[in-house]
Amino acid sequence: MSESWMHGYEMLNGVRLHFVRQGEGPPILLIHGWPGFWYEWHLNIPVLARQHTVIAPDLRGFAYSDKPDLPAEEGYTAEAAAGDLLGLLDRLGLRRVGVVAHDIGARVAQALTRADPARVARLVLFDPPYPGIGARWTEPGHVREIWYQTFHLLDWAPGLVGASRKTTELYLRHFLSHWSYDKRLFTDADVAEYVEAYSQPRALWGGFQYYRARARQEKTWAGLPAPALQVPVPTLVLWGENDPVLPVRWADRLPEYFPHLTFRTVPACGHFMMREQPDLVHREVLGFFRDLGQG
């Protein structure tokens, strides 16, 4: 684990949560996705920390945080992870924050905001999974992009991927490359950070548990009208035009779920916007959070 960062740990809901903290000013919470952990924000933390207190945790189940031995539907829902983060904000004395998230982190951010909207001043999401996608995950032609979601449900999947550091590297490198617009974006040094994080005991298992929990959440979402799942805070959604797993055409129903929406597409960008277009991300986030310290 990189040593040049300010690392911290807090025990929350029986889970020891790891996080990185940098900077001073109105607080921002950065929530990673899969395959990710705090390090996916490593280009962004130093820039954002010039104006903000930046908190980048590893969600429960990931990297250097605990991986509680709980059924997925109990311990690895978006709501469970959101509860940890609300507890972390309490522990750190952060009353109101801006939140930036993508992928699984975007699910957690939506759950956190619905649970305690007064806590979230503003929300920024990249290519977010949200209820309006519905059954389009399995539309013709897209199933080939989501095979991993079914694979992650298999009991033997963590053992197969984690059979060695090399197999872990091959698996993670595939997604880091395939989901990026520039297939050579992630350096060997970057990949080494991911391999180390996912070689932590049960880290592969913990990340896969979110996919088990997601299957039930999708069924719950399908039975609820859009107003019941709205996120009632000002929200900026930036969507990469070249994301293969969350295609930009799925943004069509965002206004139903985010009534205070600002939406922009980002060309020449795949799934990892914070890594692929960091300058744009810094400009958009800092602009959207310009008045974060007021009110």
**Which segments of 172-285 are extended strands (E)?**
235-240, 261-266
What pLDDT shows up at residue 151? 96
Q: Within a domain: residue 294?
A: no
Decide if pLDDT at 290 tops 80.
Answer: yes
Q: pTM of the full predicted structure?
A: 0.96
Residues forming the active site: 103, 211, 271
Q: Within a domain: residue 103?
A: yes
The CATH number assigned to the domain holding 249 equals 3.40.50.1820
What pLDDT shows up at residue 295? 44
What pLDDT shows up at residue 150? 94
Q: Within a domain: residue 255?
A: yes
User: What does DSSP say about strands 235-240 and 261-266: parallel, antiparallel, or unpaired?
Assistant: parallel
Number of domains in the chain: 1
**Residue pair 228/92 in contact by the 8 Å Cβ criterion:** no
Cα end-to-end distance, the chain, whole Å? 37
Q: Within a domain: residue 168?
A: yes
Round to whole Å and give the CA distance between 191 and 186.
7
Q: Report the pLDDT averaged over residues 50-79.
A: 97
Round to whole Å and give the CA distance between 122 and 133.
22
